[in-house]
């Protein structure tokens, strides 16, 4: 099993590559009950991986239907009220059941205890409960979708959702409400874990930046999600009681709903991107074999994004009769919130400078992230400008902007993270050639899908419309490009699904530290034992201390307390 890659090193203890660790968290117990009643954060992460993947595929299916309709100007595939359901379902599933939970619930759950040197999260039973609550919310929402659907848009704007819509708004709202508590409990669990369960010597500023970003995300989970919960509850109660709480005809104010809704839903987008940024920090450090430039700046920028993110929600309401003075405040602060994100991008770039870069798949995804996130972020600034937003609000410009961030940003980070930690999670390597190929296909497909949408939006194509004018010929060209891109993107997404599953049976066995990387998670076996570490680690080094690759043993790693090449691992003698 020798590799021609000089970065995969020299001698290693015999036999470690021939099989998985004798007992690890995957084979510690067998049977469906050992999974459904597990308290092991790693197994819960895999439960989430399965369910989140399911919702992602379902949400993607709705996207396929949307793109098929938009191939032609006429609304000829589905009727308009059906189309309303298509984009609503796509939005609800993708936002609430994929983007918000994905990285925290899968990679966060799996890695946080490992990265800080703990045996599990602070509240393992609460963690399992979070997954069951997520599933309950999912079942309720699916029920609403299958029973007849919802057509209000994922934003549930009133008074349409409270008074006029004849669809399963209450049921879908209930699903979202229940799902919210899954998020809150996960965030609570993460904050307590990071505060109280770090291994000896693991000070705050030795933590991986993945932890910092998940901490910031958890702050948003706890502070923001309850507001969407009460808002959705109010919508449901209003549909029942018809008092007029958001109905202008009865003295209510629909903009009040929007304030309540966006107070959460804007920070929610930072929930979607912050974990991904944490992953990117890890990927770039690992695959450049270099300490993150400006570690504390990156760490604090995560907190800054979480805090500032709560001050800008009104930028979704510039054209909703919100006072122009409030609009001014929200606009200015929206520009401010871009600054910490930019700080990260600069620091990542500086990290790569003079680094020892390897272009493994995770690094490809990290590069895609940086480019696509910058485009998405900059176009967000266009939207934050009051004057410009008046023209492009509710057009495809907005749709393109947020897909660049969510797919080009969050999804790329998620995929990069899955690839980076796949060896740790499963003890297997994914096939590198296929992975690089699919990453490129995804990148091409993504840009082909969403870049034309910037142009469409700028030219005036409204969002949530299933038809567009025949006499704007460029529009159809752009829509066809977008739909073609969507097919390519879809194809690209299927490939990892296949090879990840393939790898679990046929993939090369992975060592404890394949890249190799720093971080406590790489110092335990791949896959880890149930209790994570044989011996609780004692940390005496800073985060991201890399040595020249020639000095690193594969099984060991970079950290100063581990044997260097040629050293006897037991006695340390050269």
Partner 1 sequence: MATHADTAGVHTTPAQHEAAQSALAHHFDNMEQQKAATTLGMWLFLVQEVMFFGGLFLVYAIYRALYPQSWAAGSSHLNWVLGGFNTVVLICSSLTMALAVWAAQAGRPRKTQVLFLVLTAVLGLTFLGVKAFEYADKYQDGLIPFAGWFSPTDPETRELFTTHGATLQNVQMFYWIYFAMTGLHALHMIIGIAIIIPIIWAAWRERYSPEYYAPVELFGLYWHFVDIVWIFLFPLLYLLGAHLAAGH
Partner 2 sequence: MSEHIVSRKVYFVIFAALLVGTVLTVVAANIDFKSEVINTTIALAIAVTKATLVVLYFMHVRYSARIIWVLVASGIFWLAIMMVLTASDYMSRKWASPLVPTVQSAPAETKH
State the residues that interact with partner 2 by CB under 8 A.
195, 223, 227, 255-256, 259, 263, 310-311, 313-314, 321-326, 329-330
Closer residue to partner 1 (CB): 187 or 563: 187
Helices (H) and strands (E) in the chain, counts: 17, 0
Residue 237 interacting entry, from partner 2, partner 1, none, C-beta within 5 to 8 Å by type = partner 1
DSSP 8-state symbol, 119: S
Strand partners, 428: 509
Distance of closest approach, residue 198 Cβ to partner 1, in angstroms: 10
Closer residue to partner 1 (CB): 122 or 283: 122
How far apart are the C-alpha atoms of 183 and 178, rounded to whole Å?
A: 9
CA angle 116, 8, 517 (to 5 degrees): 15
Question: Which residues, at least 6 apart from 531, have a Cβ–Cβ distance to it below 8 Å?
Answer: 119
Closer residue to partner 2 (CB): 110 or 310: 310
Distance of closest approach, residue 228 Cβ to partner 2, in angstroms: 12
Distance of closest approach, residue 423 Cβ to partner 1, in angstroms: 25
Question: Which residues, at least 6 apart from 491, have a Cβ–Cβ distance to it below 8 Å?
Answer: 441, 445
CB atoms within 10 A of CB 352: 19
CB neighbour class for 223 (10 Å; exposed up to 12, middle 13-18, buried from 19): middle
Q: Are 517 and 281 in contact (CB under 8 A)?
A: no
Distance of closest approach, residue 124 Cβ to partner 1, in angstroms: 6
How far apart are the C-alpha atoms of 512 and 516, rounded to whole Å?
A: 9
Closer residue to partner 2 (CB): 195 or 391: 195
Residue 386 interacting entry, from partner 1, partner 2, none, C-beta within 5 to 8 Å by type = none
Closer residue to partner 1 (CB): 36 or 241: 241
**Token pair of 148, please?**
């007849």
How far apart are the C-alpha atoms of 254 and 321, rounded to whole Å?
A: 10
Residue 311 interacting entry, from partner 2, partner 1, none, C-beta within 5 to 8 Å by type = partner 2
Closer residue to partner 2 (CB): 31 or 387: 387
Using CB under 8 A as the criterion, which residues of the chain lie in contact with partner 1 when the complex forms?
A: 118-124, 184, 187-189, 191-193, 195-197, 222-227, 229-231, 234, 237, 240-245, 250-253, 256, 259-260, 536
Residue 387 interacting entry, from partner 2, partner 1, none, C-beta within 5 to 8 Å by type = none
Residue 322 interacting entry, from partner 2, partner 1, none, C-beta within 5 to 8 Å by type = partner 2
Q: Are 275 and 532 in contact (CB under 8 A)?
A: no
How far apart are the C-alpha atoms of 348 and 411, rounded to whole Å?
A: 18
Distance of closest approach, residue 309 Cβ to partner 1, in angstroms: 15
Closer residue to partner 1 (CB): 193 or 217: 193
Buried b (16+ CB within 10 A) or exposed e, 86-95: bbbbbbbbbb
Residue 329 interacting entry, from partner 1, partner 2, none, C-beta within 5 to 8 Å by type = partner 2
| Residue among 292, 221, 232, 289 at smallest CA distance from 257 | 232
Distance of closest approach, residue 29 Cβ to partner 1, in angstroms: 15
Distance of closest approach, residue 256 Cβ to partner 2, in angstroms: 8
Residue 332 interacting entry, from partner 2, partner 1, none, C-beta within 5 to 8 Å by type = none
Residue 229 interacting entry, from partner 1, partner 2, none, C-beta within 5 to 8 Å by type = partner 1
Closer residue to partner 1 (CB): 214 or 401: 214
Residue 398 interacting entry, from partner 2, partner 1, none, C-beta within 5 to 8 Å by type = none
| Residue in this structure with the two tokens 């948003």, named with its chain if needed | 220
Distance of closest approach, residue 195 Cβ to partner 2, in angstroms: 7
Residue 113 Cα to chain centre, angstroms? 19
**Token pair of 4, please?**
């021609």
Distance of closest approach, residue 188 Cβ to partner 1, in angstroms: 5
DSSP 8-state symbol, 153: T
Strand partners, 552: 564
Q: Are 130 and 185 in contact (CB under 8 A)?
A: yes
Closer residue to partner 1 (CB): 71 or 223: 223
Distance of closest approach, residue 231 Cβ to partner 1, in angstroms: 6
Closer residue to partner 2 (CB): 326 or 477: 326
Residue 124 interacting entry, from partner 2, partner 1, none, C-beta within 5 to 8 Å by type = partner 1
**Token pair of 319, please?**
């054209």
């Amino acid at each position: 099993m020798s590799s021609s890659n000089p970065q995969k090193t020299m001698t290693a203890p015999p036999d470690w590559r021939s099989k998985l660790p004798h007992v690890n968290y995957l084979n510690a117990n067998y049977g469906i009950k050992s999974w459904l009643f597990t308290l092991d954060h790693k197994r819960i992460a895999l439960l989430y991986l399965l369910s989140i993947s399911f919702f992602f595929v379902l949400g993607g299916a709705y996207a396929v239907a949307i793109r098929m309709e938009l191939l032609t100007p006429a609304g000829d595939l589905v009727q308009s009220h059906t189309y309303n359901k298509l984009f609503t379902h796509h939005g609800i599933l993708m936002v609430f059941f994929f983007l918000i939970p994905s990285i925290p619930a899968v990679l966060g759950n799996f890695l946080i205890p490992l990265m800080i040197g703990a045996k599990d999260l602070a509240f393992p039973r609460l963690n399992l409960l979070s997954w069951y609550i997520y599933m309950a919310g999912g079942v309720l929402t699916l029920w609403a979708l299958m029973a007849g659907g919802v057509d209000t848009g994922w934003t549930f704007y009133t008074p349409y959702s409270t008074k006029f819509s004849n669809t399963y708004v209450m049921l879908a709202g209930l699903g979202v409400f229940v799902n919210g508590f899954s998020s809150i409990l996960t965030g609570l669990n993460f904050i307590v874990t990071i505060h109280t369960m770090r291994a000896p010597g693991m000070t705050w500023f030795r933590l991986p930046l993945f932890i910092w970003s998940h901490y910031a995300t958890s702050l948003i989970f706890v502070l923001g999600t309850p507001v969407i919960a009460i808002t959705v509850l109010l919508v449901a109660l209003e549909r029942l009681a018809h008092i007029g709480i958001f109905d202008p005809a009865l003295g209510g104010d629909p903009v009040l709903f929007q304030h309540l809704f966006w107070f959460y839903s804007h920070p929610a987008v930072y929930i979607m991107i912050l974990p991904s940024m944490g992953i990117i920090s890890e990927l770039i450090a690992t695959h450049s074999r270099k300490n993150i430039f400006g570690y504390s700046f990156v760490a604090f920028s995560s907190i800054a994004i979480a805090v500032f993110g709560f001050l800008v929600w009104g930028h979704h309401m510039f054209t909703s009769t919100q006072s122009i003075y409030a609009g001014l405040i929200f606009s200015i602060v929206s520009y401010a919130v871009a600054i910490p994100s930019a700080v990260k991008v600069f620091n990542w770039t500086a990290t790569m400078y003079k680094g020892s870069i390897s272009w493994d798949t995770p690094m490809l995804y990290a590069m895609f992230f940086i480019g696509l996130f910058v485009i998405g972020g900059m176009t967000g600034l266009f939207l934050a400008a009051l004057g410009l937003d008046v023209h492009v609000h509710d057009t495809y410009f907005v749709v393109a902007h947020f897909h660049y961030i969510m797919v080009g940003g969050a999804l790329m980070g998620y995929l990069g993270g899955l690839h980076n930690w796949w060896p740790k999670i499963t003890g297997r390597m994914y096939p590198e050639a296929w992975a690089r190929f699919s990453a490129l296909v995804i990148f091409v497909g993504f840009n082909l899908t969403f870049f034309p949408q910037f142009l469409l939006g700028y030219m005036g194509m409204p969002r949530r419309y299933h038809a567009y004018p025949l006499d704007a010929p460029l529009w159809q060209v752009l829509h066809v490009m977008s739909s073609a891109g969507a097919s390519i993107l879809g194809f690209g997404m299927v490939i990892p699904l296949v090879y990840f599953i393939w790898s679990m049976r046929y993939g090369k066995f992975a060592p404890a530290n394949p890249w190799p990387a720093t971080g406590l998670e790489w110092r335990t076996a791949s896959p880890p034992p149930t209790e994570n570490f044989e011996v609780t680690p004692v940390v005496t080094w800073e985060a991201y201390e890399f040595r020249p690759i020639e000095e690193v043993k594969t099984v060991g790693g970079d950290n100063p307390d581990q044997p260097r090449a040629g050293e006897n691992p037991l006695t340390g003698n050269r």
